[in-house]
Amino acid sequence: MTEIQKQRFGVLTKKGQIEVHERPLPKLGDYDILIKHEACNICTTDYTQYLGLREHQGYPMAGGHEDSGFIVEVGEKVNGFSVGDHVALGCPSCGYCDECKKGREGFCKYNDMTVHTTEDGYHGTFGFSDYVVMPARRVVKISKHLPAGEGGFLEPLATVSKGIKIMDTKPGDTVVVIGAGTMGMLNALALRAKAIRVIITEFMPNKIENARKEGLEVIDCNVSDPVEEVKKLTDGEGADAVYVCVGNTVANNQAVEMLKKYYGKILLFAASYPEPKFEISSNVIHYRHIQIFGTTGADLVDFIDSAKLLNSGQVKVTSLLEKKYFDLDHIKDAFEEATVPGNYRVTVRMNDL
Ligand SMILES: [Zn+2]
Ligand SMILES: [Zn+2]
């Protein structure tokens, strides 16, 4: 039996306010796993709530879902996991609702963060905590060699894997990714790992530089018109698909112009607040057979796929992390850092391991 009795965790108590609270550690059930968190990255969802731009999840929000750590104890009936395993978390899901049974755990009817509350009144999944008790069905093994922060990419990379599946993008296809932020880059790297030609567009100088360092074909939107440039790079044909990884009306509209004449596909990967628009004539969709998809979140199968990409090194995320770490007591500074435009993922270190 573990000696650990309490968990300390970061919690958003209102717009612009994040505190460190303490509560008794939930009891380890037969099918649960106790994890000592190493790190949790701050997702856009986390800091847009902090900024008050999207507060639908409610308060007090004990958020953080890009967390990873090491197993300290396993429940009596859990098979296949051992103390010391390096793990990250899949989506919360009940396993028995209709959505779960269809394999759409990301849309589990009983794990909506806006309604899910602990007995002592918290929302969220306690990613920003030193220790956490999780049902084994959520826990995914990751390589011991992944440094702190990189394991936290299990979740965002799972959402990317899901999007690529929805789009049915094939080796040899040419894809334009709009935006070289964390999620744009993650899409680009995962697509490239599947032998897909990727052209990425960006206007922020540090992101352009990083994308070039990663060896990607980059269109600098300060220098050339991205639509014209895509046409040039594809011998006038246009792209098979455009993944829009920024929430922006201009980008949405550009995507249509960048596509090949017939059967092009668009993936609307990003949300943004205030809400962007998508201005397109339905005749254009009709005559050109354009297919438009949306995606958000991920299902358990996508987390397994994501773990394979991370563990094998097929997708390396080192350049998508800010180098500076923050500990739990400085979580407010970490959130401030995460809101700086142009920054990649910011990591909160929960324990020194
Ligand atoms: Zn996230
Ligand atoms: Zn469910």
**Contact at 8 Å (CB) between 315 and 309?**
yes
Ligand that lies nearest to the alpha carbon of residue 160, given by its number in the listed order = 1
148 in Cβ contact with 349 (< 8 Å): yes
* Closest ligand relative to 94 C-alpha: 2
Distance 43 CA to ligand 1 centre (A): 4
**What is 6-150+317-349's CATH topology?**
Quinone Oxidoreductase; Chain A, domain 1 (3.90.180)
pLDDT, tens only, 110-138: 875 555 678 899 999 999 999 999 999 99
The reply to whether 6-150+317-349 and 158-294 are identical in fold is no
Name the CATH topology of 158-294: Rossmann fold (3.40.50)
Report the alpha-carbon distance of residue 311 to residue 317 in Å, rounded.
Answer: 11
Which residues neighbour ligand 1 (ion) by CB within 5 Å? 43
Cα 105 to averaged position of ligand 2 atoms, centre (Å): 6
Residue-level pLDDT, tens digit, the chain, 353 residues: 678 999 999 999 999 999 999 999 999 999 999 999 999 999 998 999 999 988 888 899 999 999 999 999 999 999 999 999 999 999 999 999 999 999 999 999 987 555 567 889 999 999 999 999 999 999 999 999 999 899 999 999 999 999 999 999 999 999 999 999 999 999 999 999 999 999 999 999 999 999 999 999 999 999 999 999 999 999 999 999 999 999 999 999 999 999 999 999 999 999 988 899 999 999 999 999 999 999 999 999 999 999 999 999 999 999 999 999 899 999 999 999 999 999 999 999 998 76
Q: What would the pLDDT profile of 230-259 be if each residue is shown by its tens digit?
A: 999 999 999 999 999 999 999 999 999 999
Q: What is the per-residue pLDDT for 31?
A: 96
pLDDT of the residue at 54? 85
Question: Are the CB atoms for 12 and 60 separated by under 8 Å?
Answer: yes
Task: Write the DSSP symbol of residue 339.
Answer: T
Coil vs helix vs strand at 208: helix
How far apart, in whole angstroms, are the C-alpha atoms of residue 22 and residue 130?
10
d(CA 279, CA 290) in angstroms, rounded, equals: 14
Instruction: Report domain extents, the chain.
Output: 6-150+317-349, 158-294
Query: What single string gives the DSSP state of each residue in 247-315?
Result: --HHHHHHHHHHB-SSS-EEEE----SSPP-----HHHHHHHT-EEEE--S--HHHHHHHHHHHHTTSS
- Look up tokens 């990649």; give the residue: 344
Q: Report the distance separating Cα 81 and Cα 1, nearest Å.
A: 16
Q: Which ligand is nearest to the CA of 42?
A: 1
Give the pLDDT confidence score for residue 112 in this predicted structure: 59
Tokens 């970490």 map to which residue? 334
Angle at the Cα of 153 (from 42 to 119), degrees rounded to 5? 55
pLDDT tens column, 53-78: 888 888 999 999 999 999 999 999 99
The pLDDT of residue 119: 87
User: What's the 273 CA to ligand 2 centre distance in angstroms?
Assistant: 28
pLDDT computed for residue 293 by the predictor:
98
How far is it, in rounded angstroms, from Cα 255 to Cα 243?
A: 8
The closest alpha carbon to 290, from 281, 301, 299, 303, belongs to 281
Ligand nearest to the CA of 296: 1
Q: Supply the Cα-derived Rg of the chain in whole angstroms.
A: 21
Task: Output the CA 110–ligand 2 centroid distance in Å.
Answer: 6
How many angstroms does the Cα of residue 100 sit away from the middle of ligand 2? 4
